[in-house]
Amino acid sequence: MNEQIILKIENLSKKFGSNQVLKNVCLEVAKGDIYGILGLSGAGKSTLVRCINGLEQFDEGTIAFNGEVVNFDRNYRRQVAMIFQQFNLLDQRTVLKNVMLASELFGEKHCQNKAMQLLKLVGLEDKVDAYPSQLSGGQRQRVAIARALMSDPQVLLCDEATSALDPETTNQILNLLLQLNRELGLTIIMISHQMNVIEQICNKVAIIDQAQIVESGNAQDIFLFPKTDISKRIIYSGHINTKVDNSKFVKLIFNGEIDTPIVANIIQDCNIALSIIYADSKVVNGRIYGQLILTMPADSRDATKLCKYLQLKQIHFEEVVASELQ
Amino acid sequence: MNFNDILTMVLETLGMVSISGALAYLVGLPLGILLNVTSQKGLKPCKWLNFVLSLVVNVLRSIPCLIVVVLLMPAVRALLGRGTGEWYTIIIPLFVTSFGFVARMVEQSLAEVDKGKIEAVQSLGGTDFQIITKVLLPEARSSLVGGLAVTLVSILGYTSFAYNIAAGGLISGIWRFYSQNTGDYLSDPVFWVMIVIVILLVQLIQELGLAISKKLDKRRILE
């Protein structure tokens, strides 16, 4: 597949005083990607997206957009729109006026029809004359999305766009973003500290820690086989107790080929008791992808039995110890 | 002192307050915007300009109004043909004494606008000038109107100094009434009528300002 690189970031570095917030960051985003950037608070991910559209300046490195090094003029900014955690709508303007602002700034008239269409697209056609204070958080973010789309951007940057929303509203916004990606071919770069948000819609992922990108690639690969400690910590956070030092686990990988109730089958067929430590799966095109981490039976005969059984059923698995997961 | 005299004094006072208030905003509003924009957290931080403007504003605000009246008397005479004795001779001192105050109020109001909104509009391609006209001023409008009411009330108080240059107006009228009736002014209803009018004027400005400010604020919409 010939991917067209829409955004290429090379060796981006930035310091705030003596504090290095970005260090040699490289990132390639292809057209149509939903690229997730995951990191803990303070890792530098917010600064990275802000550098992409020029809200923040950087010390070294280059950013190229469609092959050309960008100069961050206002026409470039229109191509790379942004939505924010706090929505940042203008409170003293109606919903419609907020959306039209994006065109107003460029002296474009007769943009009301387009604004109405976009508000319809985000499902707010009945709120055009409301003020932001009359809307819920999810509705405000929809207005912000409509506003961002007003300039027909090629890239949409999402800076913790769902972090202020409840889980259900988060899902609705993520589904909307996915819909925009598919219907408009919009490339999306989203940063979040919430792994489930990134996992839900991103096809590519970069993990950023202490100002550097430590891992990047296909979302599936990174979530199933995290290599670095920080990635493991983010992915398994809260699920695996750090105290369980050397306990042995078995990690089952679902790569879309398993369609049987696997845990129930193991218990039934092998007659051994198991605890589930971590489970994470999603259904893509009717196939199950994800992983399941179980405790290895303490009895060595049971453990052998389990491994043999998994081999027999051709289930991809690996033995791991707790310390490897953190 | 009859009804017509009082009406004339009220009109003089309204004239002084509105004209000097308008002039104060003509200078104070741009100055306040400039103070906000050049401040450290502003759109275009500029240390020296901010320092100079702040200094001018601070010095102006430190000179008591009565001294400003005295200092400016020759200038007023040169400009308007006379330095004392008419209602309009107090306007320039009132304006000079209040535009620094206006500038600070405007600066404060604009500083209340959330930085996130500014960034959002920058990310949409807004220029600095557009940020001022489409974000800072409209988003702060409710606070700006509140500040306008405070300014007008404070200028109304400063019209007292019109007495010192015989420029008339309601407040100096009250003092004049006292000085002409030192024995029994407190028992004369005319004295109290004038005071009630002053109170009503202040209340009117304040309440009107508050009402407009509330009406303009779409962050809290009263159904």
Q: What is the pLDDT of residues B89-147, one digit of tens each?
A: 999 999 999 999 999 999 999 999 999 999 999 999 999 999 999 999 999 999 999 99
Determine the residue of chain B that is closest to A153 in CA distance.
Answer: B124
What residues have CB less than 8 Å from A71, skipping those under 6 apart? none
| Mean pLDDT calculated for residue range B148-158 | 97
- What percent helix, strand, coil does chain B show, rounded to 5? 80, 0, 20
Range in A96-105, A230-239, A306-315, B19-28 the model is least confident about: A230-239
How far is it, in rounded angstroms, from Cα B66 to Cα B161? Answer: 6
Q: Which CATH superfamily is A238-325 part of?
A: ACT domain (3.30.70.260)
| Mean pLDDT calculated for residue range B42-48 | 95
Q: Which of B116, B130, B138 lies closest to A88 in CB terms? A: B116
Residue A279 DSSP code: E
Q: How many beta-carbon pairs under 8 angstroms link A with B? A: 78
- What is the residue extent of each domain of chain B? 3-216
What value does the CA radius of gyration of chain A take, rounded to a whole number of Å? Answer: 23
Q: Which one, of A186, A183, A202, lies nearest residue A194 by Cα?
A: A202
The boundaries of every CATH 3.30.70.260 domain in chain A are: 238-325
Instruction: Name the minimum distance, in Å, from the CA of A177 to any CA of chain B.
Output: 19
Q: Select B3-216's CATH number: 3.30.980.20, 1.10.3720.10, 3.40.190.10, 3.50.50.60.
A: 1.10.3720.10
- Using a CB cutoff of 8 Å and minimum separation of 24, what contacts does A46-51 make? A46/A159, A46/A160, A46/A191, A47/A14, A47/A21, A47/A22, A48/A12, A48/A22, A48/A191, A48/A208, A49/A82, A49/A157, A49/A158, A49/A159, A49/A189, A49/A191, A50/A159, A51/A12, A51/A14, A51/A22
| Mean pLDDT calculated for residue range A56-74 | 93
Query: Considering only CB atoms, which chain B residues are within 8 Å of A75?
Result: 125
CATH architecture of A5-230: 3-Layer(aba) Sandwich (3.40)
Query: Is it the case that residue A106 has pLDDT exceeding 90?
Result: yes
pLDDT digits (tens, 9 = 90+) for A283-301: 766 677 788 888 888 888 8
Cβ contact A84–B119 (<8 Å) = yes
What residues have CB less than 8 Å from A126, skipping those under 6 apart? none
Write out the H or E segment, with its range, that includes residue B41.
Answer: none
Cβ contact B139–A91 (<8 Å) = yes
Instruction: Name the minimum distance, in Å, from the CA of B144 to any CA of chain A.
Output: 13
